[in-house]
Amino acid sequence: MADTGSNKDYVVVLHGIARTWRSMRRLTHFIERNGYPALNVGYPSTRLPLEALVEYIHQKVVPFNQDPSRKIHFVGYSLGGLLARGFIHKHRPANLGRVVQLAPPNQGSEVVDFWKHTFLYRWIFGLAGQDLGARNKAFSRILGPVDYELGVVAGNRTWDPISSAMIPGPNDGKVSVESTRVPGLTDHIIISASHTFIIYNKEAWEETLHFFEFGQFNGAFNR
């Protein structure tokens, strides 16, 4: 995609659970090369529950979002996509732009339901990991309704046959394609990517930028 040059909208980038801001550096650099000042937020994804993480991110975003004449867009991977929704629900900026979620468990994950009570899962994924099960409907209160422009990029490729066996229908090894959907979303696209590697997928990058600019996905490869 061509460099937008004069585009000065802000973009907030949010990584997934048990990851760090470093995992989003490639996507962040791609966004910046296309003219958007970007904030790649690091947050303690395994040490706090979902609601507390929303407040943590709020403290990071406020100093970044200083010019109300610019829109502020969000792109979040997995848990980061949920935190973007939670942030907007609790602290919606007046200059809110568009939101892209990459492989988000908007309806929870059956894999989490299976593993969440085991010691290893609790040790790796912490308190926020307990909030992400498909049977946990409480987080819908934290995330709120979608009444803004939201695009979802889902993956349908998996390298984890054990986890995929727990998930009904097409999935990315962690989240079903159906679970990525949420009422009110603007556009939805499925790409050939696994949950782990979707953040490094150049098609996902291009589609994210296209949604920021036009409010819909391009979908040249699968529509």
- For the residues 133-146, what does the mean pLDDT come to? 71
| Phi, psi for 98 (deg, rounded to 5) | -115, 160
Residue type, 176: S
pLDDT of residue 7: 52
What's the mean per-residue pLDDT of the chain?
84
Is residue 72 within 8 Å of 93, Cβ to Cβ?
Answer: yes
Protein fold of 10-214: Rossmann fold (3.40.50)
In the three-class reduction of DSSP (H, G, I as helix; E, B as strand; rest coil), residue 166 is classed as coil
Residue 5: band (very low, low, confident or very high) from pLDDT cuts 50, 70, 90: very low
> Residue 31: which of 213, 173, 197 has the closest Cα?
213
pLDDT digits (tens, 9 = 90+) for 102-130: 999 998 665 555 445 553 444 344 445 55
Tokens of 78: 């997995």
The whole-angstrom separation of Cα 23 and Cα 32 is: 16
Q: Which residue has the tokens 């979002």?
A: 65
Residue type, 216: Q
pLDDT digits (tens, 9 = 90+) for 28-42: 999 999 999 999 999
pLDDT digits (tens, 9 = 90+) for 12-71: 999 988 789 999 999 999 999 999 999 999 999 887 888 899 999 999 999 999 999 999
pLDDT of residue 159: 72
Strand partners, 12: 39, 74
Does position 87 have pLDDT exceeding 90, yes or no? Answer: yes
The string of DSSP letters for 173-220 reads SSSBTGGG--TT-SEEEEES--TTTGGG-HHHHHHHHHHHHHSS---T
Percent of the chain with pLDDT over 90: 63
Tokens of 39: 């904030």
